[in-house]
Structure 1
Amino acid sequence: MTFTVLLNVPRKPGLSPHEFKHHWENVHVPLLKQLVGYDFPLSHTRHYVERNLPSSPTSPMFGPALDSSEIAAANTLLSLGDVDGVAVLTFANKEHYERFMGKLADGKKRKAIEKDLESFVDVNANRAVFAGETRATGRDGGMVGWRFVGSV
């Protein structure tokens, strides 16, 4: 059974969304891979919050289409939010996650990851949710997801 961690990641004040994304993609993830090696998650998916909402046709899933004033109001509300990215880290199991975190708790590695996070994340507002088992449904209606065989 996979073990999933969801992170709501706010960018550091004063950093542009472009700088935030660039650092996360080109500095943070490679550093994380270097620090934990084989215990890197099975996947580390990053979603970046879209601040410019498009208008959309009416749909039962999203409700009626927004007019330009509603889009502007929604963007204003979103800009007050503290989440700029969402990360989904998927591990083979809870033990895999614990090994990953154990490596990051090591003295030099801990200092390196803390310094890196402080350079692009508002660490005081960073939040995690432990989702445990992950399931997804594909277009064909079948289950999609990790099926891990072997040890990590």
Structure 2
Amino acid sequence: MVYSLILFVTRKPGLSLHEFKYHWETNHIPLLKDLVGQDFPLSHTRHYLDRDTSLPGAPVTALFGAQEHFTFDGVGVLTFINRDHYESFHAKLKGEAQKMHDEDLAAFVDITKLKGVFVGDSKSSGRDGGVVGWRFVGSV
């Protein structure tokens, strides 16, 4: 069973949505890969909320829920082989590595609004009706 961490990430005040996404993709992910090496998750998926930047406040394109419920700009899903894999990943983010990670995070994330939750059992269904696992992400 895979072990996943879901992050709800709000951009730092004063940062545009483009700058937020650019930093996460081109600075933070490469840094994280360098810091943890082979203990990087099986996958680190980033989802960016669809916002209409032509309107004041850049509202989200919501199917359910009120605008004020969407205080975050991105959702990160980090998928690990198991909890031990996560623990190895987390252990690499100590000392100087943690300082580098935290400084970079503070450059594009509103840390006061950052939320995260672990999930255990996950299921995914393909369009053909079959259950799919993580075989399309990486080998375990």
Query: TM-score by structure 2 length?
Result: 0.85
Partner in structure 1 of residue 17 of structure 2 = 17
Partner in structure 2 of residue 135 of structure 1 = 123
Say which of 88, 100, 103 aligns to 1:99: 88
Partner in structure 2 of residue 61 of structure 1 = none
Matched, 1:114 2:102: yes
Q: Moved runs in structure 1, 4+ residues, more than 6 A?
A: 72-75
Asked if the contact 1:6/1:128 (under 8 Å) is kept, the reply is yes
1:135 Cα offset (Å)? 1.1
Number of matched residues? Answer: 130
Partner in structure 2 of residue 55 of structure 1 = none
Who wins on radius of gyration, i.e. which is larger? 1
Query: TM-score by structure 1 length?
Result: 0.78
For residues 82-122 of structure 1, give each alpha carbon's deviation from its aligned partner in whole angstroms, at most 9, with x where no partner exists: 20000011000010001101111x11000000000000000
Distance in 1, Cα, partners of 2:61 & 2:43 = 31
Match of 2:4, SS state, is strand
Question: Cα distance 1:128–1:122, how it changes in 2: closer, same or farther (>3 A)?
Answer: same
In structure 2, give the amino acid aligned to 1:116: D
Match of 1:13, SS state, is coil
Which runs of 5 or more residues in structure 1 are unaligned? 53-71
Question: Over aligned residues, Cα RMSD in angstroms?
Answer: 2.3
1:13 Cα offset (Å)? 0.5
Distance in 1, Cα, partners of 2:84 & 2:95 = 21
Matched, 1:87 2:80: no
